[in-house]
Structure 1
Amino acid sequence: MTDRYDELYAVYETVDAETIRAYQDLVDLYPPLDSSVALSYWEDASETLAEKRADVADRYGEGVADLVARASRDQAFTALDLYTSYGRGVNVLVLDVDETLRSAGHTDNEIPREVLHLLTEFHEAGVPIVICTGQTLENVKGFLIQGLGNELVHSGDLSVVYETGTGVFTPGHGPETKRLLYEDLDDDVTEVFAEVRARVLSDAPGDIRSGCHLQGNEFNVTLKPNHETGTERAVDVVAHALRWLLSLLGDAVSDANEREVKAYYAAQDPEIAAVLDAADDRPDVSVPDAVAARLERIDVAYYEGDAAEIASRELNKVVGVTAALDVLGVDDPFALVMGDSKSDRRVMEWAAANDAGIAAAPAHASAGVRDFVEARDDLVFDSGRAGDVLRTTYALNRLAARADEN
């Protein structure tokens, strides 16, 4: 194994990888424009890139030429560390979207062109993509088709786990194209969601009716702020929306009451406890076992300044991801799991427990997610820089393929 590190060190010492990577990015990310000058510049860059890559390929092989064109020295050595630890490459990507692939504070809430291009590179290399998000299916389909193209989205190698695992959409798989996982839940759960949905805005306090909207989910009940995410007004109204959802659950869950519901979820989640404490609305009551047993099936999520939501604990991103992998035919997954929230951490924990992948998170991820990722492989990336981890993973796959060839 030391030989691999020595060889990689020699490559980056003798090759101008930074210049090659700059030319590769120029050719990949800035295609010819409707201008003879721009076209000529792009063609010159393409020729120079081909010459430089050919020189590296003559000395070290095509795989190494591809590696230095995509990954920095640090990314390549991180990839080699990962290969040393796990002995294999990634064969599926499991990716959260909001505040992971894109970041409202750093990428204008758009997925960067670099990230989109890297995803197409993985697709062309035969690596399936699972988009795993709390968003609605229609929202996800829209930006994926716009960013990745209709052909890739409908290739049969891309799946969308939407609404945090309530459904899975995998175009090109006939009757398996859309799996409505929430249809398998029993009436004890579905009736609670129906009652909460019916009242969540019509009976809401005035500031919630004017300051929130109900996300167009198929099953989950999600209140989103009408103010810009993360602003003081959004933080205030989402906190009130959380308390309102807990009150509605107190009415909808059989034999429960509002005080018991708030006490239960405060004990389960310190962020929920903090919201209730700030409003002096955290009851000091015991929760009967029968009530706790019912509430165990219902998840309440709070994302400061972004959303308050109820979902089924029996339907989560892990359930959705395993269903997506089944449809895609990935029998022995080793995934790159990228995410920022506790719902993403569950997928990361599933991958770790089953020796089924590696985990990465943005620096602004929730504390529990970041702690988990740092303890595993320390794949923490700067906000808006998801491409850095994708490049590292691309390098990992190149190193794994080269090892297999040898």
Structure 2
Amino acid sequence: MERYDLLYRLYEEFDTETLRAYQEFVDLFPPVDSRVALNQWQDAHDELDDYKQRLQAAFPDDEAVVDLAALATRDQAFAALDLWNKYHRGVNVLVLDVDETLRSAGNTDNEIPRETLHLLTKFHSEGVPIVICTGQTLENVKGFLIQGLGNELVHSGTVSIVYEAGTGVFTPGHGAHTKQLLYERLDDEIQSVFSTVRSGVLSEAPEELRRGCHLQGNEFNVTLKPNFETGTDNAREVIDKGLIYLLDLLETSVAREIGEEQSAAGFARAYYADVDPEIKDVLDERDADHGSREDVPAAFEDVFERIDVAYYEADAAEIGSLELNKVAGVEAALDVLGIDDPFALVMGDSKSDLRVMKWVEENNAGIAAAPEHASPDVLDHVSRTDDLVFGTGDAPDMLRTAFALSLLGRAE
């Protein structure tokens, strides 16, 4: 109870809200060339130092208290203490999804907010590696990370990018291990299926799809994206139709690979409708016949079992390899980073992130957090474990809680 009593005293007897306001102002003050603005920053910096000195005098035996009060709200600090008492470990690596996790199209103008970027640099300065784990292409991720975090940090040797949901891993500063093309480890059969799908995905598509969507510039995965704003009715319609088209194209590609006559029997529709309720709902809503999985020949099912078809409502339809998921990418990234005993903060919103969350739970290797708009399966998992659900666009809430956990560990 001693640590709880300390936090009760800290947040009830002291004006920590003002302290945090000064700290955030000093940390996030934009670069300007104005003497008046710089004087204002200096005044805030002096006030901050004064607050910290008075607080440290009140808690002379606990150096972490000042940093904790300047960083975390009362709720964040108590959540961190609960986590410490459960796990007795601080976070030693961040595993972070990007879209709708670090940034949100609805709340953050689809940019990673400055506060989030600052907190990432704060973790980095404490020696905590950062693994960005995303379905995006490598070039996209590198671009906005360098823009937001700076070239030096991204190439520091402690940042890794798991891209295309695990098909590749990029960890600058590690020589021959800097870029790992995990898809090259797949056998010839699967690589051939993907090659066939990719070569015909747009050239063989109906005109409506060719005009309404585009192929994301992936190295391996095949991803259809709408030429409409994500989330709109037009985007939903074209992605629904794109999903059905991808299923049929996958079936004909598998048939060619296993030596069957070109198939149009709906085997892929039947198989994936059975394994994914969201896909079944799309097929039903679009009046696309899908039959029964029992009718799918074993030769087709053997290949389908190794291929993932993902549907993101009004956003994307994608074919990937189940042998190359975010878990495989994270494991490869941790290996290059030299993290043998991870305790990760995993933040994400989709089913691909859920696989990583379950992996850290099964291996006692971390905690999971998700935004309130995450998929139901993700929210169920997060609520069942540590209930680390944060508001849309409010990734800093969880990052501050995780940093507070590290501060509490440092105090111990």
TM-score normalized by the length of structure 2: 0.96
Q: Match of 2:352, SS?
A: helix
Aligned match of 1:249: 250
Mapping of residues 87-166 of structure 1, within 5 Å: 87-166=88-167
Partner of 1:337: 346
What amino acid sits opposite 1:231 in the alignment?
A: T
Superposition deviation, residue 257 in structure 1: 4.5
| Alignment deviations for residues 359-387 of structure 1 (CA, whole Å, 9 cap, x no partner) | 00011101100111011111111110000
Q: Secondary structure at the match of 1:164?
A: helix
**Alpha-carbon offset, residue 283 of structure 1:** 2.0
CA displacement at 1:207 relative to structure 2: 1.4
Distance across 2 between alignment mates of 1:15 and 1:327: 44
Bigger drift between 128-137 and 198-207 goes to: 198-207
Deviation at 1:59?
2.4
Asked whether the equivalents of residues 90 and 334 of structure 1 are also in contact (C-alpha less than 8 Å), the reply is yes
| Match of residue 280 from structure 2 | 273
For 1:202 and 1:357, the matched residues in 2 are separated by 44
Pick closer, same or farther for the CA change 1:162–1:32 going to 2, 3 Å: closer
CA RMSD of aligned residues (A): 0.9
State the alpha-carbon separation in 1 of the partners of residues 182 and 278 from structure 2: 28
Gap change, CA 1:258 and 1:105, over 3 Å in 2: farther
**CA–CA separation in structure 1 for the residues paired with 2:289 and 2:145:** 41
- Given the two structures, how large is their TM-score scaled by the length of structure 1? 0.98
Would you say 1:231 and 2:232 are equivalent positions? yes
- Letter matched to residue 272 of structure 1: I
CA deviation profile, 1:10-30 (whole Å, cap 9, x unmatched): 111122110000000000011
Aligned residues: 402
C-alpha displacement of 1:32:
4.9
In the other structure, the counterpart of 2:328 is 319
Q: Distance in 2 between matches of 1:283 and 1:312?
A: 22
The secondary structure found in structure 2 opposite 1:235 is helix
- Structure-1 residue corresponding to 2:11: 12
Q: What letter is aligned with 2:14?
A: V
CA shift for structure 1 position 220: 0.3
Letter paired with 2:278 = E
Give unmatched runs, 5+ long, in structure 2.
Answer: none
Please give the secondary structure, in 2, of the residue aligned with 1:375: helix
Q: What is the identity, as a one-letter code, of the residue corresponding to 1:192?
A: V
CA drift of 1:62 comes to 2.9
Matched residues in 2 for 1:402 and 1:232: separation? 52
**CA apart distance, 1:290:** 2.6
Q: Given the alignment of the two structures, is residue 309 of structure 1 paired with residue 318 of structure 2, yes or no?
A: yes
1:293 matched residue in structure 2: 302
SS at match of 1:213: strand
Report the CA distance between 1:40 and its aligned residue.
Answer: 0.6
**Which stretch shows the higher mean deviation, 115-124 or 375-384?**
375-384
Residue 41 of structure 2 aligns with which residue?
42
Q: Which residue of 2 aligns with 1:392?
A: 401
Contact 2:273 2:290 in 1 (8 A): no
1:240 — aligned with what? 241
Specify every segment of 5 or more residues in structure 1 that has no aligned partner in the other structure, as ranges.
none
Aligned pairs for 1:131-210 (under 5 A) are 131-210=132-211
- Alignment partner for residue 382 of structure 2, among 364, 367, 373? 373
Show the counterpart of 1:84.
Answer: 85
